Amino acid sequence: MLGCHSALTGIRPLYNRLRENDILTRRYFYPLLSTLPMYCTLPSANPANLPVATEMAQRVLCLPIYPGMIDSDLARIIEALRSPLKNSQTPGQALNTTTIA
């Protein structure tokens, strides 16, 4: 999973960049279960009670991963992710990768 650094205006620029390179991603924690009709009226589903989950739903993309993935596929994904880093004004500002177990 990849989390966008707060310096980006959300995950859309990264999503678009990867899509331009034929790398399909998806939002990982979206929609939050707490936003579904059967749960959204519960007091515990209030976004104020779920600040981390709410933030992650806006920031995390799931990168391609599948059993048949070959090294060249992985290299293409890595290069597409490195490009914004190389072009960022401050190293580390464009992207922040996070692994969540």
Q: Nearest 5°: phi and psi at 59?
A: -120, -15
Q: Where does the chain show beta strands of DSSP type E?
A: 2-4, 26-27, 60-62, 95-97
**pLDDT average per 10 residues of sequence, the chain (101 residues):** 46 87 88 92 94 88 92 93 67 45 35
Cis peptide before 31 (omega within 30 of 0): yes
> Residue 12: which domain range?
2-97
Structural domains counted in the chain: 1
Assign residue 46 the CATH number of its domain. 3.90.1150.10
The pTM for the full model equals 0.60
Q: What is the pLDDT of residue 1?
A: 47
Q: What is the pLDDT of residue 69?
A: 94
